[in-house]
Amino acid sequence: MTKKMTPQWSDGWLEGARRVPSSNFNARPANTGADLVVVHNISLPPGEFGGQGIEQLFTNTLDPTEHPYYATIAKLEVSAHFLIRRTGELVQFVSVDDRAWHAGQSVWCARSNCNDFSVGIELEGTDELPYEDVQYQQLQQLLDALRAYFPSLDPAAIAGHSDIAPGRKTDPGPAFDWSRIS
């Protein structure tokens, strides 16, 4: 079980999250905060958990010779604000005051470029494998902390990558139990 998180922030960085700064971000548009949370999944190599591939991808240090799949993605410049590992560990790559590069071409409620106004949360997992209880617990605590930081963040404004990029993305997939978060 994860420790209850007291939402304390410093320049958009959540205290208690392990910081692994990514250079894959830029400024949000002027006068734009986050009013959407996008839930993703990721595993590197695909279907394997616990390695350093995710952090290496988000910090542009992925070795394309380490795994055949890595050669296909090593040149991508992507990031998310947070990663929740299968152990419940919370990792932060980008300040929530900044624009992480997680959504790609996307639309939410007739607004395009969701990176501009969203926080991206990656769950270590796949579309088909059940997520861990501790991941749901950590995700709920993180959502509560984000709502404290962004008071205008509507509890209903939580979407899957599949919701903002239908036909292009499928995550967090059918294994994600939306009823476990609020």
Which residues are annotated as catalytic? 122
What is the Cβ-side half-sphere exposure of residue 2, based on CA atoms within 13 angstroms? 23
State the sign of the Cα–Cα–Cα–Cα dihedral 90, 36, 39, 57: negative
What region does 172 belong to: left with phi over 0, alpha with psi -120 to 50, or beta? alpha
**Strand 82-84's sheet: what is its strand order?**
18-19, 90-92, 82-84, 118-124, 36-42, 158-160
**72 backbone dihedrals φ, ψ, rounded to 5°:** -85, -15
What is the bridge-based pairing of β-strands 36-42 and 158-160?
parallel
In Å, what is the CA distance from 8 to each residue of 15, 32, 107, 139, 145? 6, 21, 30, 16, 8
